[in-house]
Structures are given as C-alpha cells and as structure tokens.
Structure 1
Amino acid sequence: MRIEIAAGSHFGTANLPYGVFSTPGTERRVGVRVGDSVVDLAVALGDDVFAKPSLNPFMAQGYDRWVEVRRRITELVSGEVPDEAVHAVADVTMHLPIEVADYVDFYASEHHASNLGRLFRPNAEPLMPNWKHLPVGYHGRAGTVVVSGTDIVRPCGQRKAADEDAPTFGECRRLDIEAEMGFIVGAGSPLGSSVPTAEFERHVFGVVLLNDWSARDIQAWEYVPLGPNLGKSFATSISAWVVPLLALGAARVPTPVQDPKPLPYLEEREPWGLDIDLSVAWNGQEVTRPPYREMYWSPAQMLAHLTINGASSRTGDLYASGTISGPEKNQRGAFIELTWGGKEPVEVGGEQRSFLLDGDEVTITATAPGADGTRIGFGEVTGRILPATEAKR
C-alpha cells in the first residue's frame, strides 16, 4: 500500500521518528511513524533487530547503520509498503522506546539558571561562578524514566518551609514541571575515553521531549550540599517518538555567544544549537512557549563534558538539557519560574494557579525546521498527577 501523508504533517519523510509499539496481535517491536501510520520495520525491512522490545539493539549498530536504515526507510515509504507492515497510529500502544542505561540532567539555559538564582539568592549574583565555564549537571535515576501517558504519583518526602522550625514528612506541596529535550546515546564510548564535540553526531542517535517532574519543596530542603535527589528522582517522562539526529540538520543554529570562551574540549567549530519551539499546555491550556535555540550550552558540549573525565557512555544513556527558558516571561519552562515562586500565579481554566494539583495534566509538544521547508514534530510528552500514596516512614 502507499501511505498517504497529509499536507503540513509533522511526520513526513523529513522526520521518520522511531518508536516501540505493540498491537493486540504483536509483541513490542520497533516502528517508524509516517503521517498517521506506524510502519513495522521488522516486517517492512525483514530485519529481526527491529523485532526487539527496545531501540537499543539497533542503536548499538552505530552511525553508518543509522544512515543506511534511514535511506532504506525513505525509499520504502516513498513507494509501496507491505499492507501487513502498516498500522494506524490510533490502533497501536506506544511504549518506552529505549532501555535507559544512565540518566544525567543538565542546567544549560542561562535564562532559567539566572531566574532561579534571583529567586533563591536575591542578594547575590544570579549565576554561580562556574556556570559559564562548564555545563552544570546532576546524575538522575534511570529506573524512573517513563513513557508519555504514564500517570505521575505525587511524591512524599521531607520538606521545610521558611516559616517552619523543623522539617516535616508529607506529600509534595510545590509540584512542578521542567520542559526539556532529551538526547539518547546510540553508540557508547569506553571507560577512560571521551567524546569530542566534533563526534557528537556519531554517538547520539536521537532526541525526545522530556519532562523532569520536580518536587520543589523537597528539593529545596535536601539539595545542599550535594544537589538534587528525591525531589527529582520520582519520575521523568519522555515522548514515545525518538526523532533521529539525522532529521535535524535543518534545525541547526549557532548557540548564543559564549563568553568567556569555553576551554578547548568544549569548543565547537560548527555549533549544535537547535531551533526547536516547545509548547507547554496545563490542563489543555497553553501557558508558555520555551525556545530551545536560546540554550547556552549545546548537546555536543554536554556530552563532551559528561565524558571528559573518562566516564564511559553506553547505548541507551539519556541526558537532558535542563529547563528550557527564553528571555520573556511567556517563554519560561518551569512553573516555579513562570509564577515567580508562586507570587505571580497564572490563570488556568479560570483559576489562579502556581503549582500542580492532583488531577492536573501537563502536555509538552515541539516542532523544528525540517528539510525542504517542512516542519517536523516530536509528538508529545504528557503526564497526569495522581494523589500521593501512603508512604512508609
């Protein structure tokens, strides 16, 4: 059959994102999205590497194989595809696309870092002295990365408000989001080596939307001196579709001017800034539009820094950009920032809101320039908040 692609579709042949899907008659397997259809690659290409329940075995085959398969898929979907290989998007169930090996979250937006600095340290410089010399990050929890559509249970933990004499245990009272992009390592690097910025595209397979759910009150009490832990580790959501880095050539832009000049291992001859426009909807209402092109540190620089000490990288490693924010208020990618710590609520559904309530749903979407003047989409990452469960003390 010939797959019809509607005019203006964000899932045309310039995109071809990968995902893991199942149907009532099939186990989990790798597919590619074309318009409103999913093509079963194990059937269409006759290759068992796509009959696996994650993208990891395919990603581990390396850059040259990624290029070859993308070429074959493009040729295939431009002609006739076997009927038995094609499923409607509405008829499949999407799953976590990768086995997450490790997870690291960066803090790469100067606007976001400056805003939080002003909120948390009003009488000091917004940025810490190291911020413009290296991509700051923390090591997250791979086991709590979930696919879009997974409900998020409100976390419990210790929290201490400014007007309290001692910490208390209970459910998070300042539950937040962070709109981010996630980068998936396809080809790893051995222990004791590093990945130069110029080799970024040979190691990173693709890009997903990411929501780093954040318990701000738990985070504020625990993070000194070692950084985020329970306030972040309870859940991180990613989109089901992985947009290949090979599809993002037309989205490449320079990063903002980096001053002071980065150390040599962080220098880029051809910067990997990306012109991606995000949208955050709170209970169906758009509240902010973060622009990824404003990110100070590029994903190539993040990977170079992540490995410069000799740390290995592995197939399935996920690292995230940190909250994406722009210079304008309607471009802030976290609610703590958008509402200025809750002091400037936004209207959602006719109510003044600052942080997430049980039953709230957040959806992040994004598009970027594609080849030949098209736009490509990343799907969505959605999560709904469920009440806290009774936790053991």
Structure 2
Amino acid sequence: MSTHPVTWVEAAAGSAYDVDNLPYAVFSTEDTAPRIGVRIGDHVLDLGAAATALRPDLAPLLDAPALNPLMAAGATVWAEVRSWATELLTDTAHRDRVRLVPLADVTLHLPFEVGDYVDYYASVDHATNVGRIFRPDGDALMPNWRHLPVAYHGRAGSIVVSGTPVHRPAGQRKAPADPAPTFGPSLRLDIEAELGFVVGRTVPLGQRVATSEFTETVFGVTGVNDWSSRDIQAWEYVPLGPNLGKSFATSISAWVTPLAALEHARTELPSQEPAVLPYLREEGPSGYDIDVEVEVNGTVVARPPYASMYWSPAQMLAHLTVNGASLRVGDFYASGTISGPEKHQRGSFLELSWGGKETWTAGGEERTFLEDGDEVVLRYSAPGARGRIGLGEVRGRILPTIRPLPEEVE
C-alpha cells in the first residue's frame, strides 16, 4: 500500500499534476499582480499569498513576478519550498488557509527573467537527418559532433511564453538555383521540439561547472519550440551559424518543472562512441525519459522521444562552462531538436518533409512547412513517483509577416 501523502485538492490525486509534480509558474488574476504559484490538478496554489500569510521568511522569494529570486536562493531552499508546498496540499489543516485559483481564471507569464540563451544540437538522429538532407553526398555528421555538444548562442530577448502568437519572419532567401538573394516572408517556416534547462545558480567568470554539479545548478526544465526559418537559415548560416533564421521567436512553457519531479524519469544515455573527454564523463543515469507530442491544428504529427538524445543536459552544462564562461541566475539552454530513429519521431518539419520533398498530414491536408494560421502545440510527459506527470505545453499560432517598411515597397 502506498505511503505517499494524498492531496486534498479535488480531482488532483492521480492526475498528471499530483503532488509528485508541482511545477512552478508566474501567474496573475484580475485582482492580483504576478506572483509565483504551483500547479495542482486544474488549479494553481498561490504560493506568494501563502508565504505572505504563513511563511514571511519566504515571501520575498515567492511573492515575486519571476522565479529568479527563488532560484538564486539555492538548492537547499528549492527543496524546502517544494516540501512546504507538498505539506500545504496534503495536510487538510491547510485547506482553508491557502488560496487555490482555477487554471481558467489565471494569466500565465514568462516564468523567469532570461539571461543568456544557448541552443544545442544534441540529438544524433536529428543531426544525422539534417546532414543527409543538406549533404547527401558527404558525411552526415561533422567530425566534431561525437566529441562535444555543438551549440549556438541565441537571442534571449525573443524568448516568449507559451500562447504568444508568432509572426512569420521576413528576410533574405536564396535557393541554390537563384542568381541572387531576394527579400520576403519565409517560405519554409519550421518548428523544433526541444527541452530547455533553467539555470538557478551564479558561477563567476573563470570557473567551471562539473557534470556532477548539474542538480545544484539547474533549477528545472521547460518545453521549447525553437521556431526556425529554414530558407533564411540556409542562406545566412555559412560560416557563422544561425542568426535571423532563429532569432524571431523561441517559445517556452509557462511551467517550470523542478528536477526533483523528474527523478523517476532518469534513464541511461545511448552509448557514446568514441569515449568522451574527462570533463564530459558522468556516473549513473544521466538522460531523461520524456515523451513529446507535436500537434498541428489538432492533429498529432510526431512523437519525439527525449530518451534518445545523445548528449545529456549535464554534459551540455559542463561544456557551456569548460572555457570559464560565467553563469547567471536565469540563464537558459535548450537541447536542440528532439528526434528519434523512426519517421514518426522526428521533431522538425524539415525532417518530416525530408527537406520539403515529402509531405506529412495535419487535419486531412498534405503539408511540408507551416502556413499562416497554423497552431502548433508541443506537449510533454514523463514517469513520476505516482504515474505519468505533465510538463505543460508550448503553444503558438503563426500570424502573417509584419507589414514592410516603406522603403521595402516597390
């Protein structure tokens, strides 16, 4: 018989948002300013109000419009707050002492102030597919790929919370057969289903973070949609990598799932050959068994498995700082596209359409890339202590390109 305490919140026990989950968000209502809450079932526990009334020592961390103060308090406080939230939601003595708000009555905000943003390329299946699409006569993987986690530095200011509409970007495009580039809306607008990691620790310039320090450095995870303009990207990325093809928007979940909720999702990485250098070595399970659904206009078109990722989040973190680069509370890094070995496990439309040569189906329509009006929803789930837990969703609808500047109109 289970010895786990049972929540008193109606319909929450046994759900994907039971007390073994408790993801954090920043929320507001019609009569309250943004503050921190945790999800329990289909409600939000107002942690800001609870702290003000019951734990004034925690009020500066929880009655706040971003998770940064809580994250900066360190791993010991993270565990204390999670334990206290669990007590509030399982001890019936607190039923009339805390405020629960129905999800339908809240507005969710970007959950943390973003510092730097780095996006990795950690799936061997995704990297191999992209290599085969763009270099059909060459090596699918570059020589460095199995030796280090490859990444680019992204645009932190264009990270937006789930539900924010995304305008189709415009820029320079040049197909291989075109004599010169042209300017206009992207014709090959894509997604990348990813997982993101929120840094909750400051590390000064000139220090390094070991793989063993992952759980005391990363506060939690979010879902990520790294929207990508493949035609803009293809023309601009040589020799320095992505820029405008990526920087117009990156959507993340409103919910940050603490690493403590994902202990039952830990799994072994796929075999890494050749052996990694010492600073990238890890002991024990270092991957995560997280399932992703990619939905377009109500149709699930792919199911990428995070368990297939080649590089672990701890290895990405260690590589990020091995040169002495600093970390700040609120820094954010993402996994890169999650793709598995099967076609239905591909986490981008570049792969699903094999570079635009094949179609996939959504709502009965044959598609290659995104059209204006399309709504994409990424959903995440993982094993928890009491069953599967939900990691929230990442939702975004494509709007037409913003109007041109006067000098662009012929």
TM-score of the two chains, using structure 2 as the length reference: 0.94
Distance apart, 1:271 and its partner CA: 3.6
Q: Which of residues 115, 121, 133 in structure 2 aligns to 1:119? A: 133
Match for 2:143 among 99, 115, 129? 129
Q: Distance in 1 between matches of 2:225 and 2:169?
A: 15
Residue of structure 1 in register with 2:16 after alignment? 10
Report the residue type matching 2:50 in the other structure: A
The CA deviation string for residues 32-58 of structure 1, in whole angstroms up to 9 with x for no partner, is 001111011122233232111100011
1:177 aligned to 2:191?
yes
- CA offsets 1:366-389 (integer angstroms, 9 cap, x no match): 1000014x1110111000000001
Instruction: Give the whole-Å Cα distance in 2 for the aligned partners of 1:270 and 1:188.
Output: 26
| Residue of structure 2 aligned with 1:318, choices 332, 340, 347 | 332
Q: What residue number does 1:140 align with?
A: 154
2:311 aligned with 1:297, yes or no?
yes
For 1:3 and 1:48, the matched residues in 2 are separated by: 26
Percent identity at matched positions? 62
Cα distance in structure 2, aligned partners of 1:65 and 1:83: 22
Q: 1:82 to 1:309 in 2, by over 3 A?
A: farther
Per-residue deviation at 1:153? 0.3
User: Do structure 1's residue 26 and structure 2's residue 32 form an aligned pair?
Assistant: yes
1:97-108 paired onto structure 2 within 5 Å: 97-108=111-122
Alpha carbons of 1:82 and 1:54: their partners in 2 closer, same or farther (altered >3 Å)?
farther
CA distance in 2, matches of 1:315, 1:241: 17
Aligned residues: 392
Task: Report if aligned partners of 1:342, 1:355 keep a CA contact under 8 Å in 2.
Answer: yes
1:43 maps to 2:30? no
After TM superposition, give the deviation of residue 276 of structure 1 in Å.
Answer: 0.2
Q: Does 1:390 align with 2:403?
A: yes
2:275 is matched with which residue? Answer: 261
> Which amino acid letter does the alignment assign opposite residue 60 of structure 1?
A
- Superposed displacement of residue 20, structure 1: 0.3
Match of 2:351 in 1: 337
Q: Is the 8 A contact 1:277 1:292 kept in 2?
A: yes
| 1:206 corresponds to which of 198, 206, 220 | 220
Given residue 83 of structure 2, which amino acid in structure 1 is its aligned partner? R
Match of residue 274 from structure 1:
288
Counterpart in 1 of 2:74? 62
Q: Determine helix, strand or coil for the equivalent of 2:246.
A: helix
Tell me the SS of whatever aligns to 1:75. helix
1:269 Cα shift? Answer: 1.0
Q: Find the aligned partners of 2:98 and 2:275 in 1 and give their Cα distance.
A: 54
Q: Residue 172 of structure 1 contacts residue 215 of structure 1 at CA under 8 Å; is this kept in 2?
A: yes
Distance 1:261 1:82 in 2: 56
For residues 112-162 of structure 1, the C-alpha deviation after alignment (integer angstroms, 9 at most, x for no partner) is 000000000001110000000000000000000000000000001001012
- Superposed, which structure 2 residues align to 1:65-104 within 5 Å? 65-79=77-91, 80-82=94-96, 85-104=99-118
Which residue in the other structure is 1:380 paired with? Answer: 393
* Structure 1 residue 390: Cα displacement: 2.1
Report the alpha carbon displacement of residue 83 of structure 1 after superposing the two structures with TM: 5.5
The answer to whether the Cα contact below 8 Å between 1:147 and 1:239 also exists between their aligned partners in 2 is yes
Inter-partner Cα distance in structure 2 for 1:91 and 1:81? 20
Counterpart CA distance in 1 for 2:122 and 2:98 is 44
1:215 aligns with 2:221: no
8 Å CA contact 1:107–1:323 kept in 2: the answer is yes
Gaps in structure 1 of 5+ consecutive residues: none
Q: CA deviation at 1:84?
A: 5.4
**For residue 71 of structure 1, what is the amino acid of its counterpart?**
S
Which residue of 344, 364, 382 maps to 1:350? 364
CA distance in 1, matches of 2:286, 2:44: 29
Equivalent AA in structure 2 for residue 297 of structure 1? W
Aligned with 1:290: secondary structure?
Answer: coil
Deviations 1:333-379 (A, max 9, x none): 0001011111110121121100000000000001000014x111011
Cα distance in 1 for partners of 2:365, 2:102 equals 38
Aligned residue type for 2:158:
T
Q: 2:376 aligns with which of 335, 355, 362?
A: 362
Runs of 4+ in 1 over 6 A off after TM superposition: none
Q: Does the CA-based 8 Å contact 1:14-1:247 persist in structure 2? A: yes
The alignment yields a C-alpha RMSD, in angstroms, of 1.2
